[in-house]
Amino acid sequence: MIKNLSTIKKDFNTILKEDTAYIKGDLKHLAKYFFKRQDKFIRLAKENKSPFYIFDQKEFDIAINNFAKTFTRYIPRLKIYYAMKSNPHPYLLTRIVKVGHNIDVSSGRELAIAAKLKPRSILFTGPGKTEDELQLALKHTDRVILNIDSFTELSRIGRLAAKHKRKISAGIRIFTPLHGLWSKFGIPLNDLSTFWKEAQKYPYIDLQGIQVHMSWSDNAEPYIKVIKEISKYLMLNFSKTHRASIKFLDLGGGFMPYKTEGIHPWSTKQGAVINAIAKASNKQIDFSDSYYFEKTATLEEYAKSISNAVNTYIAPNLSCDIFVEPGRILSTYAMHILLKVADVKSTKKIITDGGINIIGWEKFEEYYAPVLNLTHPSTTEIPCTIFGSLCTPDDIWGYSCFASKMETDDILLIPYQGAYTYTFRQEFIKSLPNVVKL
Ligand SMILES: Cc1ncc(COP(=O)(O)O)c(C=O)c1O
């Protein structure tokens, strides 16, 4: 059945021994922080029909500020493009524009929404852009930078731009051997020089930069590696004049929020292997901890290391702006979810009035987020499975609750749930809740 079992066996053994990829800790301080503000949330729960999303502008502002301040301190030529795919609610988008940042979009639909808000600049990145989407980009050449995804797209946009006589600013997305499945996007770094020359054939394309994106980067290492590779490539393959035409290097998003949620032991690499072995041998496994934190860099660590790499490898050879496309590191903090206890089936089995269609995926089977009982607050957690009210057992919010007890109608808050939840929401069985401003 398996061709390369011996190599896999070796990997299995390494993973089983690996105990260092995660760190212990808890989120008691987060519970305390939100319990301090509990009156505000309780008032909202009285005024609105549960369940609902809460937009928390104060927390969003803090996240934007922290990110912008820390990154610009280390990288003065930084431009921030908020990745709206992580949460496109108008409250977030208008706030981003109001505080002077830009928007990163990935479809014509997102572009249409962003353009109405008139941010200074919009990056349009994504594979397989349709003719309609490219036409829309051409309507907004005053603010759009099109990150081209392939040679085919170059000729398509080149032809369209010439037809409409509209000059468009552009970048080219590249991937390197580090990118794995993410090599679906862009062209191989090795083709960059050919692409750059090819683009010069299109008078209405103003190619200005290079874009690269890596997802879920726990630390700055992937950014550093890719900066090094791009710089090495440019030194070998681009003349000084060609290098001078590069106006931006766009490093994408992928920055992880710092310790806002944990990962359950069975979802760690080691835990998954142990679980699979236990299942195959009909054994029950009890994990010793309920969650761990992934080793994620702080903002300071990301910014400092990326700045070092930029200063060492990029700045001496080309003078360009650095773009970033942060999504989750900003939107995580912008929204919380409020639910009520609909039924206490036993002390260990709680049913809430909201299903995980609110967040669109079975996130909390894998990840831990604190569930706070605002009606019966406590800084210790009661073990209980908190289900939603959908007709599926995967409808789980968590396996414990910061509560002194659990009763019907109790108000529950799950803080910092703004990223890739509201975006993924779906009308599965239940309708979608409202977004309420705090
Ligand atoms: C091109 C691009 N930029 C930015 C992002 C935002 O990533 P994150 O939310 O991890 O910062 C994504 C997410 O997939 C992306 O594909």
Per-residue pLDDT tens digits for 116-144:
999 999 999 999 999 999 999 999 999 99
pLDDT at 317: 85
Query: From ligand 1's centre to the CA of 104, what distance in Å?
Result: 9
- Tell me what percent of the residues of the chain surpass a pLDDT of 90: 83
C-alpha angle with apex 108: 106 to 109, nearest 5 degrees? 90
In DSSP notation, 114-140 reads HHHH--S-EEEE-SS--HHHHHHHHHT
Q: Is the pLDDT confidence value at 369 over 90?
A: yes
Q: Are strands 335-346 and 262-263 parallel, antiparallel or unpaired?
A: unpaired
Q: CB–CB of 433/354 below 8 Å?
A: yes
- On the question of a common fold for 26-53+334-437 and 58-260+289-332, the answer reads no
Rounded to an integer, the average pLDDT of 357-361 is 96
Q: How confident is the model at residue 18 (pLDDT cuts 50, 70, 90)?
A: low
pLDDT at 42: 97
Query: From ligand 1's centre to the CA of 158, what distance in Å?
Result: 26
Domain 26-53+334-437 of CATH type 2.40.37.10: yes
Q: Which atom belonging to ligand 1 lies closest to the Cα atom of 419?
A: 9
Residues of 158-170 as b/e, b for ≥16 C-beta within 10 angstroms?
bebbeeeebebbb
Q: Is the pLDDT confidence value at 17 over 80?
A: no
pLDDT tens per residue, range 63-83: 999 999 999 999 999 999 999
pTM: 0.94
Q: CB–CB of 144/137 below 8 Å?
A: yes
Distance CA 11, CA 383 (A): 34
Mean pLDDT of the chain: 94
pLDDT tens per residue, range 25-78: 999 999 999 999 999 999 999 999 999 999 999 999 999 999 999 999 999 999
Ligand 1, atom 10, residue with closest C-alpha: 254
Q: How confident is the model at residue 19 (pLDDT cuts 50, 70, 90)?
A: low
Which amino acid is present at 330?
Answer: L
Q: Which atom belonging to ligand 1 lies closest to the Cα atom of 326?
A: 11
| Nearest in space to 370 (alpha carbons), one of 349, 394, 397, 390 | 397
Beta bridge partners of 122: 103, 144
Q: How confident is the model at residue 297 (pLDDT cuts 50, 70, 90)?
A: very high
Give every CB contact of residue 56 below 8 A, 6+ residues apart in sequence.
Answer: 333, 334, 335, 336, 438
pLDDT at 286: 84
Q: Which two tokens stand for residue 217?
A: 């980067």
Distances (CA, A) of 111 to 85, 145, 155: 11, 11, 21
Q: Which two tokens stand for residue 156?
A: 């398509």
Which residues, judged by CB distance below 6 Å to any ligand atom, belong to the binding site of ligand 1?
83, 85-86, 104, 125, 213, 215, 252-255, 325-329
Side-chain half-sphere of 98: how many Cα atoms within 13 Å?
11
Rounded to an integer, the average pLDDT of 295-307 is 94
- DSSP, collapsed to helix, strand or coil, labels residue 78 as strand
Distances (CA, A) of 285 to 14, 62, 282: 20, 41, 10
| Nearest in space to 156 (alpha carbons), one of 84, 196, 204 | 204
Q: What is the CA radius of gyration of the chain?
A: 24
Return the domain boundaries, the chain: 26-53+334-437, 58-260+289-332
Query: From ligand 1's centre to the CA of 292, what distance in Å?
Result: 24
Rounded to an integer, the average pLDDT of 396-425 is 97
Q: CB–CB of 302/220 below 8 Å?
A: yes
Give every CB contact of residue 356 below 8 A, 6+ residues apart in sequence.
Answer: 362, 363, 364, 388, 390, 394, 395, 396, 397
Ligand 1, atom 12, residue with closest C-alpha: 253
pLDDT at 293: 92
Q: What is the CATH number of domain 58-260+289-332?
A: 3.20.20.10
Q: How confident is the model at residue 2 (pLDDT cuts 50, 70, 90)?
A: low
Query: From ligand 1's centre to the CA of 254, what distance in Å?
Result: 6
pLDDT at 367: 96
Q: Which atom belonging to ligand 1 lies closest to the Cα atom of 173?
A: 1
| Nearest in space to 172 (alpha carbons), one of 143, 138, 149, 199 | 149
Q: Which two tokens stand for residue 159?
A: 């032809």
Q: Are strands 248-250 and 321-324 parallel, antiparallel or unpaired?
A: parallel
Q: Is the pLDDT confidence value at 307 over 70?
A: yes
Q: Which atom belonging to ligand 1 lies closest to the Cα atom of 329?
A: 11
Q: Is the pLDDT confidence value at 218 over 90?
A: no
Query: From ligand 1's centre to the CA of 324, what distance in Å?
Result: 10
Q: How confident is the model at residue 377 (pLDDT cuts 50, 70, 90)?
A: very high
Query: From ligand 1's centre to the CA of 126, what distance in Å?
Result: 10
Query: From ligand 1's centre to the CA of 84, what distance in Å?
Result: 9
